[in-house]
Amino acid sequence: APYETILVERKGRTALITLNRPKALNALNLQVMNEVVEAATALDRDPEVGCIVLTGSQKAFAAGADIKEMRPQSYMDMYLSDWFSAWDRLGELRTPTVAAVSGYALGGGCELAMLCDILLASDTAVFGQPEIKLGVIPGIGGSQRLTRAVGKAKAMELCLTGRTMDAVEAERAGLVSRIVPADELLAEALAVAETVAGMSAPVAMMAKEAVNRSFETTLAEGVRFERRVFHAVFAVADQKEGMTAFIDKRPPEFTHR
Q: Is residue 131 annotated as part of the catalytic site, yes or no?
A: yes
Spatial separation of the C-alpha atoms in residues 53 and 196, rounded to whole Å: 11
Q: Which is nearer to ligand HXC, 64 or 202 (CB)?
A: 64
Q: Is the CB of residue 90 less than 8 Å from the CB of residue 97?
A: yes
N-terminal to C-terminal alpha carbon distance within the chain: 28
Question: Which residue in 99, 103, 131, 197 is the catalytic one?
Answer: 131
Q: Is residue 155 annotated as part of the catalytic site, yes or no?
A: no
Q: Is residue 38 annotated as part of the catalytic site, yes or no?
A: no
Burial class (CB in 10 A: 0-12, 13-18, 19+), 240: exposed
Q: Which is nearer to ligand HXC, 175 or 236 (CB)?
A: 175
**Could you give the C-alpha distances from 113 to 106, 128, 198, in angstroms and in order?**
10, 11, 23
Among 16, 65, 90, 165, binds ligand HXC (CB under 6 A): 65
Q: Which is nearer to ligand HXC, 43 or 63 (CB)?
A: 63
Residues 6+ apart with CB under 8 A from 190: 11, 14, 16, 53
Q: Which is nearer to ligand HXC, 144 or 239 (CB)?
A: 144
User: Footprint of ligand HXC on residues 6-25 (CB under 6 A)?
Assistant: 24-25
Could you tell me the smallest distance in angstroms from the CB atom of residue 1 to ligand HXC?
Answer: 24
Could you tell me the smallest distance in angstroms from the CB atom of residue 135 to ligand HXC?
Answer: 10
Among 50, 56, 64, 202, binds ligand HXC (CB under 6 A): 64
Could you tell me the smallest distance in angstroms from the CB atom of residue 20 to ligand HXC?
Answer: 14
Spatial separation of the C-alpha atoms in residues 194 and 175, rounded to whole Å: 22
Could you tell me the smallest distance in angstroms from the CB atom of residue 248 to ligand HXC?
Answer: 51
User: Footprint of ligand HXC on residues 88-147 (CB under 6 A)?
Assistant: 104, 106-108, 130-131, 134, 136, 138-140
**Could you give the C-alpha distances from 19 to 1, 53, 226, in angstroms and in order?**
15, 11, 35
Phi, psi of 49 (to 5 degrees): -105, 120
Q: Is residue 39 annotated as part of the catalytic site, yes or no?
A: no
Question: Which residue in 60, 62, 63, 65 is the catalytic one?
Answer: 65
| Closest C-alpha to 30, from 41, 21, 43 | 21
In the sheet that 97-101 helps form, which strands lie side by side, from edge to edge? Answer: 6-11, 14-19, 51-55, 97-101, 118-122, 178-180
Among 35, 44, 66, 171, binds ligand HXC (CB under 6 A): 66
Residues that bind ligand HXC (CB under 6 A): 24-25, 27, 63-68, 104, 106-108, 130-131, 134, 136, 138-140
Q: Known catalytic residues?
A: 65, 108, 111, 131
